[in-house]
Structure 1
Amino acid sequence: MITVLVGIGFSALTGHLLFQSEQNAIRKEVQKDVNNAAMALGREVNLGLELLYAVKNHFDAGHRLSARNFQPMTSGVLERHLSFKSIEWVDIVMHHQRRHYVQDAMQEGSQQRTDIVEFDETGALIPAQRRDMYFPIRFTSSASSNQSVIGYDMGSTAVTRQALKTSFNTGVPVATPATTVKRAYGSVQGFLLIMPILRDPEQLSGEETSDLRGFLVAVIDIGELVNLAINTVINDGINFSLNDITNERNPQLLHSEIATLSSPVNKTLTQQSLPVFFAGREWQVEGYPTAEYVEARQSYMPYWVFAAGTIIFIIISYLLYRLQQRTLTVQAQVDQKTRALRDANTKLESMTKCDGLTGLYNRSHFEAELEREIQRALREETPLSLMIVEVERLSDYNLKYGRLSGDQVLRRLSEALDNMLKRPGDLLCRYSGSQFVAILPRTEGAQRLAEECLLTVKRLQLPFEREEGAMLVDVYVGGVTLSDHEQMTVARMCSYGEIALARARADEPERWHWMEIE
């Protein structure tokens, strides 16, 4: 399961990286289109500025200004730059010059108005309110049907008035923020590009109004400008907007284009172009692709990589699982055989320690246990007792009743004697063919066990007919309790036990003898 989870995670990470790589490629492509659109827009705006400078240079050369030479000069600009809706000449008039200016303009026949005018709230032209300075339109490049705009004071709005003053003071073209420009030919969503014309062309800016000859003002349609510059270079699947970011805190949306209304957009891939600077304004193109645009460039490779990686890791995990199961099966078989071998070794060891007839421990195990008990007695400084039990005339019993019967007698005796020794530390072993031996550690009054042993055998009532008369199977018991630690050895204790057993044979009425060696 860990391998599967790691594999799925690795496959997901690889697919995600591929997906991000494709997203970055799409993002770079969008960024390239947006930058190209911004560059095209900059070229188009600069072209308009160059055309406007050409008109400026004509009048800077001292040519006489009149409606007859103004319209032919500017109409060529309008034909070459379709985003220019009109080019207008704007004068600067102080309040005390207002009446004389109107009279002079009427005498030239360039104006049908009897006063300088402005728009009211309803959009109708009315006489301009009193101001210290007026900026009336004197000539326009539009057809004669548009002469109704002549005399309009462009300083009637605060934004345009500030742009005119800035252009005069700096001597450079100034563009106004985007707004609705009202003219006789209709309202235009655009901006004004203002260029000052000084009496002395060598002057960089004006200091007094007498230095100013007038303004060239171009009315530029933003929608037409975008159509000329951006729509020809940007991809059809990219939605874009044109923003005025001159005021960073309050950016202005100038124009937006939606590629397909029914198509969802992916604004996570939004890219912004480098700023376009011109005439004191700072514009920026922002684009984001449609879903169709992204899908056309987004492959299924990340999903295939994820699916293939997941399947491969699942197969590897399954093979590892099968190998693990096989290993566990083999390990279980090995463990089973190991347990069987250990049981066999235990059984074999038990067989080497036990007497096959009675099931008691044999003499070799007895000697090993006696050595351990001697070492314990020496450490704890306690006495140690040993008791030897011998079956009387076992060979005669075998001759009379057969060896099988004799073996049966030994088994019953061993079982009875083993049950008699109730303490966990006591150990009964088969010492020889007709003898049993018991190790009795830390036993007080061990000699009483000799008498109890004789009584236990008599209770068995094992018949043994002999020439002397009907009798039962009986035993001799010899024992020793050794407190002298210097004499505590296996050989000496066995010797003392043999001596006690010999004395028990000699003491026929009692049939047991116990020695205490201190």
Structure 2
Amino acid sequence: MALKANSAAMQIFVMICGILFSLFSGWFLYNIEEKAIVSEFQKDIDERAASLSREIEINIEALYTLATLFSQESTPDFHAFTTQARKTLNRHNDIQALEWVPRVPHAQRQAFENELRKSFADFEFTERKSQGYMTVAQQRAEYFPVYYVEPLVGNETAFGFDLASNVTRRETLEKSRDSAKAQATASIMLVQEHSKEKAFLAFLPIYKGQPSTLAKRKQNLQGFILGVYRIADIFASSTLNDELLGLAIEVVDDTEPSKVDLLYSHSSSTGFTIKKDISYTKALPEILGRKWSLIGSPTQSYISVRRSILPLFVLSAGIIFTFFITVYIRSITKQAFLVQSIVIEKTNELNKANKRLKKLSRIDGLTGIANRRFMDEFLDREWLRAIRQESSVSFLLIDIDFFKAYNDNYGHLAGDECLKKVGACLKEQVNRAVDMVARYGGEEFAFVLLDTHNVELIAQRCLKSIEALNIKHEFSPVGPVVSISIGYCTLIPQKGSDPSSLIAAADEALYKAKERGRNNALASLTAISAQTFSI
């Protein structure tokens, strides 16, 4: 009897211990899985934040491109400004408008209005009343009207609008003027828009000369180059808009912590309930004096598809095997080994997935070649190597001729197919593992060639290969098929230099190649404080 009682007690003890152990194992694996899902979710938000930040930086650069028009003594006329702005907008489809906003003292108001009335009979300085309608701007000491605007179509309401009449815009103007730096406004509703989409303005101050003090900046201010950006468009153009299934994302302006402004909200297309108890905020690098953040939350669908049955399986299996442990102890040992094997397998799968994600972060999702970020890292690294070895580095910047017209007339799906074919064709033109072909952005591609003596031959080969693809393009002034323009430069880097000089030279050569009629390759002959390598 005592032995039987002891056996029963042992069985009860083993059963209780086994059940408790099974519950703990299931909870432990569930907790590990939960942490892995949260980590993956945070990584998704980090990648999308980096993508949005890059997209904004690329669009802001357009202001500095236009600033070169004002490097001369005189202010460019309406035609010169809009011509250059149109070229810039062709490369930056996310920009709503580019504008010139001069500083106009009251004494010169009539002269400024009369000058534009030669081309636009009804032009006048305007302002928006609190009731929402536009009217003639009231008298003030100085005005900051939208004097040049590209495109004018769709922005007629903004043409002549005095930014000084709006408190938000004027504060940003003054901050930009006093700091001599580009500044962005808080979110605004555009005077030319009737929708409720939010936008922001970016101001780049233009001075006479180079004033170094606050007083001289106020005195020598000519005006501002203004970029108009709709936040939804920038969001849509960044890779933020790719593969967002199961994620709800908000873009907020938290420059003033006590007054957080919701700029844009992306709702998950899955329609599942958002798990608000899991939230992650990623701050973006400062954007022209503003602090933006991404706030992400996963949906129940996002969590569910990443969960496995492993925790439940371990719990059930542990309880079942616990009943047999009193008869056959070895079975529980075997079960423990099985659980351990599954855990190791899942851990290995997670490690492999992380490696695949790291690789994907370097590849352009559409064309399958290297992306801009990976190319920049590669060029920086090889630039330093070339300095040590005194070898050459070549950079080719390639642009598809009149790609916007192709997209507009054949559709974006056809445009994507065109980009894929061009990317694949360009990749075939280099055979060495040390060289790189990358998608530079939009319809632009780039080559980084190391210690290469036949750059011109490679450029010509690219021109012929793309033309040989015979991709129909009836809307190109160059020819009946898709063609490209190439600007390139080869340097032997010197100590203290950086790759930006090489890229700038290739970009300038590309611009000149386009001016010469496109569908051609042109080498840069500009001296950039570095020894030129003969090709």
Residue identity matched to 2:78: A
Q: CA deviation at 1:21?
A: 1.2
1:3, 1:313 within 8 Å by CA — same for their partners in 2? yes
Cα 1:300/1:58, change in 2 over 3 Å: same
Q: CA deviation at 1:276?
A: 2.9
How many percent of aligned residue pairs carry the same amino acid?
Answer: 25
Residue identity matched to 1:70: F
Q: CA deviation at 1:208?
A: 4.8
Question: Does residue 167 in structure 1 map to residue 176 in structure 2?
Answer: yes
Q: In structure 2, which of residues 113, 122, 136 is the aligned counterpart of residue 112 of structure 1? A: 122
Cross-structure match for 1:220: 229
Cross-structure match for 1:276: 285
Q: Distance in 1 between matches of 2:146 and 2:218?
A: 16
Q: Distance in 2 between matches of 1:111 and 1:13?
A: 81
Q: In structure 1, which of residues 21, 24, 43 is the aligned counterpart of residue 54 of structure 2? A: 43
> Bigger CA drift: 198-207 or 22-31?
198-207
Cα 1:201/1:185, change in 2 over 3 Å: farther
Q: CA deviation at 1:301?
A: 0.3
Cα 1:186/1:61, change in 2 over 3 Å: farther
Residue identity matched to 1:33: D
Within-5 A mapping of 1:382-461: none
Q: Distance in 2 between matches of 1:2 and 1:127?
A: 90
Cross-structure match for 2:421: none
Q: CA deviation at 1:261?
A: 5.4
2:33, 2:307 within 8 Å by CA — same for their partners in 1? yes
Q: CA deviation at 1:286?
A: 1.8
2:203 counterpart SS class: strand
Question: Does residue 76 in structure 1 map to residue 73 in structure 2?
Answer: no
Question: Does residue 86 in structure 1 map to residue 91 in structure 2?
Answer: no
Cross-structure match for 2:373: none
Question: What stretches of structure 2 of length at least 5 have no aligned partner?
Answer: 1-11, 330-535
Q: CA deviation at 1:144?
A: 5.3
2:286 counterpart SS class: strand
Cα 1:234/1:31, change in 2 over 3 Å: farther
Within-5 A mapping of 1:13-412: 13-62=24-73, 64-106=75-117, 109=119, 112-113=122-123, 115-143=124-152, 146-183=155-192, 189-201=198-210, 207-260=216-269, 262-316=271-325
Cα 1:290/1:146, change in 2 over 3 Å: closer
Question: Comparing both chains, which one has the higher relative contact order based on Cα–Cα distances under 8 Å and sequence gaps of 6 or more?
Answer: 1
Question: Which one has the bigger strand percentage?
Answer: 1
Q: Distance in 2 between matches of 1:122 and 1:255?
A: 25
Question: What stretches of structure 1 of length at least 5 have no aligned partner?
Answer: 321-518
Cross-structure match for 1:10: 21
Residue identity matched to 2:18: G
Cα 1:94/1:37, change in 2 over 3 Å: same
Cross-structure match for 2:470: none
2:96, 2:228 within 8 Å by CA — same for their partners in 1? yes
Cross-structure match for 2:472: none
Q: What RMSD in Å do the two structures reach over aligned CA positions?
A: 2.6
Q: CA deviation at 1:149?
A: 3.0
2:152, 2:159 within 8 Å by CA — same for their partners in 1? no
Residue identity matched to 2:230: D
TM-score normalised per structure 1:
0.57
Q: Distance in 2 between matches of 1:110 and 1:66?
A: 14
Cα 1:204/1:15, change in 2 over 3 Å: farther
Q: CA deviation at 1:224?
A: 0.6
TM-score normalised per structure 2:
0.55
Q: Distance in 1 between matches of 2:193 and 2:278?
A: 43
Q: CA deviation at 1:233?
A: 4.5
Cα 1:203/1:61, change in 2 over 3 Å: farther
> Bigger CA drift: 31-40 or 159-168?
31-40
Residue identity matched to 1:161: R
Cα 1:179/1:146, change in 2 over 3 Å: closer
Count of aligned pairs between the two proteins: 318
Residue identity matched to 1:134: Y
Q: Distance in 1 between matches of 2:247 and 2:193?
A: 36
1:35, 1:274 within 8 Å by CA — same for their partners in 2? no
Q: CA deviation at 1:69?
A: 0.4
Q: CA deviation at 1:190?
A: 0.8
Q: CA deviation at 1:238?
A: 1.7
Cα 1:111/1:177, change in 2 over 3 Å: farther
Q: Deviation digits for residues 421-479 of structure 1, max 9, x if unmatched? A: xxxxxxxxxxxxxxxxxxxxxxxxxxxxxxxxxxxxxxxxxxxxxxxxxxxxxxxxxxx
Q: CA deviation at 1:189?
A: 2.2
